[in-house]
A and B are shown apart, each in its own frame.
Chain A
Amino acid sequence: MPGTVLTITSGKGGVGKTTATANIAAALAQLGKKVVCVDADIGLRNLDLILGLENRIVYDLVDVVEGRCRLRQAMIRDKRLPNLFLIPAAQTRDKTAISPTDMVHLCDDLRQEFDWILIDSPAGIERGFRNAIAPADQVAVVTNPEVSAVRDADRIIGLIEAEEKGPARLLINRLNPAMVRQGDMLAVEDVLDLLAIDLLGVVPEDDAVVVNANRGTPVALDEKSRAGQAFRNVARRLLGENVPLLPLEDESGLLQRLSRLFGRGD
């Protein structure tokens, strides 16, 4: 069966697209799937850093597209997970070095060999976004629970619909349950009400994400991290499992939330 192309995008920068790509890929690979990540953020590559593979790069995406190497030569195997691969972005070129058609052809080749092809989209709505979205079978939109990120997510969801790649699913990243409880941060329900789109997962704010990224080990492989657990749940949902949302709050908070849900009665 040919593999599935999942594009991870956001509109706004800095919301955690690359982190999400690395961790969902690692979690899928840990579940036994053969996975390749493609870094489509040409000129601003990061995915190799998060995966700790920077020093192994010889060839990149633009080399493949321009025929300087074979596809296989540009694939870097992960240090920990033998069925996880990375195709890095070129750092010395820009988004115009490849076209949407190139990405479609590349992914058609990758589909034959991999179960999942994850594309890390650059921020913005220009050429780089169109490159990343062109081959997609599924799209995940990453946002943070804050108004500017949600507004940009809305714009990108509209563009995904216009490209007839929808419906996109939403990944809410960096949710701080304590701030939500105090009314200082948008809650999951608020974001869903604003965006009117299906939810793929909610990842709580977790220092372990930064710690692990700096070490080049995806947090999804950290059994103790709550963010890691959330990413593993996302991977299982992508495989069609019905996994309930992680309880994001400690017990007292959960009780409050439940009583609020029951008390509201609408």
Chain B
Amino acid sequence: MGVEKIAFYILSALTLGGGVAILFSVRLMRSVVYLLVSLFGVAGLFILMGADFLAALQVLIYVGGITVLLVFGLMLTGPSQFQNQEENRLKAITSGVCSVAIAIVLLLIVRKTQWPTGGVAASETAGGIGRLLLTQNVFAFEIASVLLLVVLVGVALFMRLARSNRS
């Protein structure tokens, strides 16, 4: 078993273990930390797949941005929401059955399909992604920038309207 395989198993265990810990943790602050572990595991998987630029973006945006945003949201919603309430038994059973069924179907699809292989992975990712963004995908790139601008302005306006409504 090579080093790559061992790294793959460790990173997959981090990713999936973080997800399981989110599922079972009662305190929300801890589950944010488990989400951090899971996202770091995904970033490691990206590095293993040769997508180093995407791994750096994952750490910057997810770990540095979204997790901090979640902590902010948690802090703004008050101490009564810091713990998950007891779930009822019926809901637990139904959601468990649903997601296990989805997992079985997905795993069967992964197992049974003949996946195409034989491509050559690109060696230089950052430059290639930049070139693709500004040539082939330039329209999507502009749409994404407009989306971010709209979200920024929209969230600010949203909170301001809410505050003026309350007072």
A binds B: no
User: A residues within 8 Å of B by Cβ?
Assistant: none
User: B residues within 8 Å of A by Cβ?
Assistant: none
